[in-house]
Amino acid sequence: MTSAPSPAGCSIPQPFVPGPPAADRSQPDPEELMSRDEIEALQFERLRWTLHYAYENVDAYRELFDDHGVHPRDFQQLEDLRLFPYTDKEFLRKAYPFKSFAVDMADIRRIHASSGTTGQPTVVAYTENDLQVWGTLVARCFRNSGIKPGDKVHNAYGYGLFTGGLGAHYGAERLGCAVIPMSGGQTEKQVQMIRDFEPQAILCTPTYLLTIADGFKAMGLDPRKTSLRTAVLGAEPWTEEMRREIEQTFNIDACDIYGLSEVMGPGVAGESVDTKAGSHIWEDHFRPEIIDPFTDEVLETGQHGELVFTSLTKEALPIIRYRTHDLTRLLPGNDLPGHRRMGRITGRSDDMIILRGVNLFPSQIEELALQVPTLSPHFMLEITRPNRMDQMTVTIERRDDASVEDATAGGKKLQQEIKTKIGSSCTITIAEPGTLARSSGKLRRVYDLRDGGK
Ligand code: DLL
């Protein structure tokens, strides 16, 4: 095996050498086609490297492992990953801004940061190799989702510190596409560029694609009659009902893409257009685990819980057992047997609404609302506590073509469904089409005004 010089030293040579892009970019990378046994053998070798590398190059990991009484030498088989402690956003925040980096700044080529609605943002970084891997994995996602080399790709993920814009951009370039770097916002301009440049694919959040659909309709245009064939959507939770809505609105295939800045950015996992059955996690670069978020116990493939990731090849910012707070389950690989899939993210453990003792996520409301034909996918949830009793109001727009009476009847139906399927009482307010706030990126659906609001 050849070993790549690591930017910072490690007693074990970096087992991963990024190769040149595949000559024929429409073909899978060899690692994509590996069997489960081959992937696990690779994971073992790369995990061993990562644990040593993190311990030897990041003080915070060394202290954490030492406090936990564990040493990278203790990793003797894949299951031994459980011996190592979890990390989380707080672990990275304490190292703000650059103390979690494992290499000198001279070896860093890019820095991103998460928005950080509370407290300090989390800072993430990439070496040259890291950027190559990122581009390769995003390209894999796009190819599996049906984008082809030579396609024009309209990228409406936000450019900037957010990893969505640039992450998607370089992935599409690596696949051999012509990227139109639109970023989010300026919806009329988005519509114009889609009409004039005739892209085959669009990349954005699912709720922003709905905003773009509104833009088409406002200009008297039919979104089903564009050049678009494929959308690769992510960065926020969305449901199967939302997929159907988007596919029908634009007459396209819509696939999921998942990722988070701390682990890499978009492209940690991506969905195949042939199966549309959950995103393949690229297990040659990330080892996923599902844990019980309350007991921290590791769960079996198929069980619901919190997704945890360990990076296998990252150089600038190795990630060990990072708790994402995203709730989902792992599924066995299907068309790519070496790479397990993840189910849809049902919500984040820290975004769960507890309403009079009942736990609920906005995605459950989305699922039910979209089954009522007179109601649109545009809704928001407001939680208040008058007289010390939790109260949820769902404000939802009626569809353009539904009368106020029909939408009101639809609202009653939704209220009953929420009561029977979720177990929560709520008030439904029907809003006029186009009156609720639209997103140009991640949409905020929940306004919790209890305890003064957050
Ligand atoms: O949102 C990276 C990304 C950009 C993914 C573009 C896909 C497309 P962050 O801003 O760090 O990174 O936010 C990460 O967003 O922990 C999830 O809670 C949520 N998320 C990302 N993708 C999905 C998805 C980017 N496909 C956080 N489904 C994650 C549900 C998602 N939630």
User: What's the average model confidence in pLDDT over 28-43?
Assistant: 97
pLDDT tens sequence across 58-110: 999 999 999 999 999 999 999 999 999 999 999 999 999 999 999 999 999 99
Does 6 have pLDDT greater than 70? Answer: no
Going by pLDDT thresholds of 50, 70 and 90, the confidence category of residue 1 is very low
User: What's the average model confidence in pLDDT over 273-291?
Assistant: 98
**Strands (DSSP E) found in 122-192:** 123-126, 152-155, 178-181
Q: DSSP readout, 47-79?
A: HHHHHHHHHHH-HHHHHHHHHHT--GGG--SGG
CA distance 339 to 283: 6
164 C-alpha vs ligand 1 centroid, how far in Å?
8
User: What's the average model confidence in pLDDT over 18-45?
Assistant: 90
Look at residue 267 in the predicted model and tell me its pLDDT. Answer: 98
441: Cβ–Cβ under 8 A, 6 or more apart, which residues?
A: 157, 158, 162, 164, 184, 205, 208, 235
Does 272 have pLDDT greater than 60? Answer: yes
Domains of the chain plus CATH, in order, are: 1-346 (3.40.50.12780), 353-448 (3.30.300.30)
Quote the percentage of the chain above a pLDDT of 90. Answer: 90
pLDDT tens sequence across 151-200: 999 999 999 999 999 999 999 999 999 999 999 999 999 999 999 999 99
138 C-alpha vs ligand 1 centroid, how far in Å?
13
Nearest atom in ligand 1 to 233's CA: 8
* Contact criterion met (CB below 8 Å) for 52 and 314: no
Look at residue 351 in the predicted model and tell me its pLDDT. Answer: 81
CB 192: neighbour CB atoms within 10 A? 13
Look at residue 423 in the predicted model and tell me its pLDDT. Answer: 95
Nearest atom in ligand 1 to 351's CA: 18
User: What's the average model confidence in pLDDT over 193-212?
Assistant: 98
Does 49 have pLDDT greater than 80? Answer: yes
Residues with CB under 6 A from ligand 1: 114, 157, 162-164, 234-237, 256-261, 265-266, 324, 326, 345, 348
Does 232 have pLDDT greater than 90? Answer: yes
Look at residue 197 in the predicted model and tell me its pLDDT. Answer: 98
Angle at 298 between CA 297 and CA 303, to 5 degrees: 110
Does 148 have pLDDT greater than 90? Answer: yes
Does 260 have pLDDT greater than 60? Answer: yes
The closest alpha carbon to 242, from 255, 230, 229, belongs to: 255
Q: Using only the alpha carbons of the chain, give its radius of gyration.
A: 22
Q: Within 13 Å of residue 429, how many CA atoms lie on the same side as its CB? A: 12
pLDDT tens sequence across 343-384: 999 998 888 899 999 999 999 999 999 999 999 999 999 999
Look at residue 22 in the predicted model and tell me its pLDDT. Answer: 65
- β 446-448/375-384 pair status: parallel
163 C-alpha vs ligand 1 centroid, how far in Å?
9
Identify the weakest region by mean pLDDT among 367-381, 416-430, 439-453: 439-453
User: What's the average model confidence in pLDDT over 398-426?
Assistant: 97
Quote the percentage of the chain above a pLDDT of 70. Answer: 96
Going by pLDDT thresholds of 50, 70 and 90, the confidence category of residue 15 is confident
Q: Which long-range contacts (CB under 8 A, 24 or more apart) does 397-401 make?
A: 397/430, 397/431, 397/432, 397/433, 397/434, 397/435, 397/436, 398/374, 398/430, 398/431, 398/432, 398/433, 399/373, 399/374, 399/375, 399/433, 400/217, 400/376, 400/433
pLDDT tens sequence across 294-341: 999 999 999 999 999 999 999 999 999 999 999 999 999 999 999 999
Nearest atom in ligand 1 to 257's CA: 26
Look at residue 398 in the predicted model and tell me its pLDDT. Answer: 98
Does 2 have pLDDT greater than 70? Answer: no
236 C-alpha vs ligand 1 centroid, how far in Å?
5
Look at residue 116 in the predicted model and tell me its pLDDT. Answer: 62
Look at residue 421 in the predicted model and tell me its pLDDT. Answer: 96
CA distance 301 to 303: 6
Going by pLDDT thresholds of 50, 70 and 90, the confidence category of residue 452 is low
73 C-alpha vs ligand 1 centroid, how far in Å?
33
The closest alpha carbon to 228, from 153, 174, 329, belongs to: 153
What mean pLDDT, rounded, does the chain reach?
A: 94
Calculated CA dihedral for residues 195, 201, 203, 204, nearest 10 degrees: 50
Going by pLDDT thresholds of 50, 70 and 90, the confidence category of residue 114 is confident
Look at residue 5 in the predicted model and tell me its pLDDT. Answer: 54
Out of 260, 319, 367, mutate this one to test ligand 1's pocket (max ligand atoms within 8 Å of CB): namely 260
* Contact criterion met (CB below 8 Å) for 242 and 255: no
